[in-house]
């Protein structure tokens, strides 16, 4: 409950802060649809800050939830949304578009490197890797094997990216690296709608999986003896993760750390392993942390915008370390 209020507060704070100073009451006016003193303010808030804050909520909560799913599925506190190679698949897709465009020829390249082409490339890349992992998950009996296969896929894709970077020009490399920094802004309302629809699908599958996630806490053999269809639950969990982490990577870039850290943060605070509590808590924590990180990343009242990917780690890592040291016991 307190978390929901905190979320609303962070949401408003995030919208009020930015390179252009806008008074708080004008922010409210704009959000409520009333006219503001200056028309530019309304434009900034409705077309830039509001979609960015909503993106932050979707990204933070989605990454947190997919991280939680992966950690429970793989019984591994180091697992995160990207262990299955989803972000590497997306990176490969983007690398092919940006770095590989020189292979396709000049005129074609200009056409290729639009924002949509990057989104599509990232989605295709993560979708193909996901498809491979899902096929494997249906054939392999051991869950740990899936984890290792995911890591192998990541190695293969990063190797291909290395080869592409070797041949890429400096300008292309810079563009690729900037994509890797992650970005919450630049999403239009249309894009946000598509993002939201896929996100909801992933969220619904996660909610339906709550019971099987709890059963899995006993271990796979016990879960099976309780009548749980392991392969089907595993498929659903991987599917939810891929939908969430896949779209997030496609629209916001490979945002590190949140997916790994938020579930730990939540478990430390709530001291429980019950997913009925963890799932909503992770949702709120993920959204809050992402909003805070984004507010910091835009460096209020200045023209700088720092890479969000760096901020999440800079802000989040010390918090997790502090929590672990203070409690002296990892809750998992």
Tell me whether residue 200 or residue 208 sits nearer to other proteins (CB atom): 208
Q: What share of the chain is helix, strand, coil (3-state, %, to 5)?
A: 75, 0, 25
Phi/psi of residue 246, nearest 5 degrees: -65, -50
Concatenate the DSSP letters of all residues of 162-222 into one string: HHHHHHS-HHHHHHHHHHHH--S----HHHHHHHHHHHHHHHHHHHHTHHHHHHHTT-HHH
Smallest separation (angstroms) from other proteins to the CB of 266 = 13
Smallest separation (angstroms) from other proteins to the CB of 218 = 6
Smallest separation (angstroms) from other proteins to the CB of 150 = 19
Smallest separation (angstroms) from other proteins to the CB of 71 = 10
Tell me whether residue 200 or residue 218 sits nearer to other proteins (CB atom): 218
DSSP alpha helix (H) spans, 82-142: 86-98, 101-104, 106-112, 115-139
Smallest separation (angstroms) from other proteins to the CB of 215 = 5
Nearest to 125 by CA among 114, 133, 135, 137: 133
Return residues touching other proteins (CB under 8 A): 75, 208, 210-211, 214-219, 221-222, 224-229, 267, 271-274, 276, 331-332
Q: Is 58 helix (H, G, I), strand (E, B) or coil?
A: helix
Q: How far apart are the first and last CA of the chain?
A: 23
Tell me whether residue 174 or residue 274 sits nearer to other proteins (CB atom): 274
CA–CA separation, 177 and 175 (whole Å): 5
Smallest separation (angstroms) from other proteins to the CB of 153 = 25
Smallest separation (angstroms) from other proteins to the CB of 194 = 28
Tell me whether residue 189 or residue 332 sits nearer to other proteins (CB atom): 332
Report how far Cα 154 is from the mean position of its chain's Cα atoms. 17
Tell me whether residue 87 or residue 215 sits nearer to other proteins (CB atom): 215
CA–CA separation, 173 and 267 (whole Å): 39
Rounded alpha-carbon distances, angstroms, from residue 147 to 4, 73, 173, 264: 34, 10, 30, 19
Smallest separation (angstroms) from other proteins to the CB of 64 = 18
- Please, are residues 79 and 332 in contact by the beta-carbon 8 Å criterion? no
């Amino acid at each position: 409950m307190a978390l929901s209020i905190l979320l609303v507060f962070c949401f408003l704070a995030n919208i009020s802060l930015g390179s252009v100073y806008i008074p708080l009451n004008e922010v409210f006016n704009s959000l409520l649809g009333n006219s503001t003193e200056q028309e530019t303010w309304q434009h900034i808030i409705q077309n830039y800050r509001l979609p960015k804050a909503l993106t932050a909520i979707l990204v933070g909560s989605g990454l947190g939830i997919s991280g939680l799913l992966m950690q429970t599925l793989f019984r591994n506190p180091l697992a995160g949304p990207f262990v299955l190679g989803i972000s590497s698949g997306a990176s490969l897709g983007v690398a092919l578009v940006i770095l590989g465009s020189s292979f396709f020829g000049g005129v074609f390249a200009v056409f290729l490197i639009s924002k949509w082409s990057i989104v599509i490339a990232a989605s295709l890349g993560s979708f193909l890797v996901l498809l491979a992992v899902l096929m494997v998950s249906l054939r392999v009996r051991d869950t740990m094997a899936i984890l290792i296969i995911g890591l192998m896929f990541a190695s293969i894709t990063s190797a291909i990216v290395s080869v592409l970077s070797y041949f890429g020009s400096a300008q292309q490399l810079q563009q690729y690296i900037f994509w890797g920094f992650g970005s919450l802004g630049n999403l239009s309302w249309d894009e946000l709608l598509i993002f939201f629809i896929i996100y909801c699908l992933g969220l619904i599958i996660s909610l339906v999986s709550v019971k099987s996630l709890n059963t899995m806490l006993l271990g796979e053999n016990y879960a099976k003896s309780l009548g749980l269809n392991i392969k089907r639950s595993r498929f659903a969990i991987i599917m939810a993760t891929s939908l969430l982490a896949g779209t997030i990577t496609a629209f916001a870039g490979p945002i590190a750390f949140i997916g790994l850290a938020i579930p730990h943060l939540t478990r430390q605070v709530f001291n429980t392993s019950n997913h009925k509590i963890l799932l909503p808590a992770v949702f709120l924590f993920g959204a809050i942390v992402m909003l805070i990180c984004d507010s910091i990343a835009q460096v209020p009242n200045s023209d700088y915008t720092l890479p969000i990917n760096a901020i999440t780690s800079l802000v989040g890592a010390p918090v997790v370390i502090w929590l672990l040291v203070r409690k002296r016991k990892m809750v998992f």
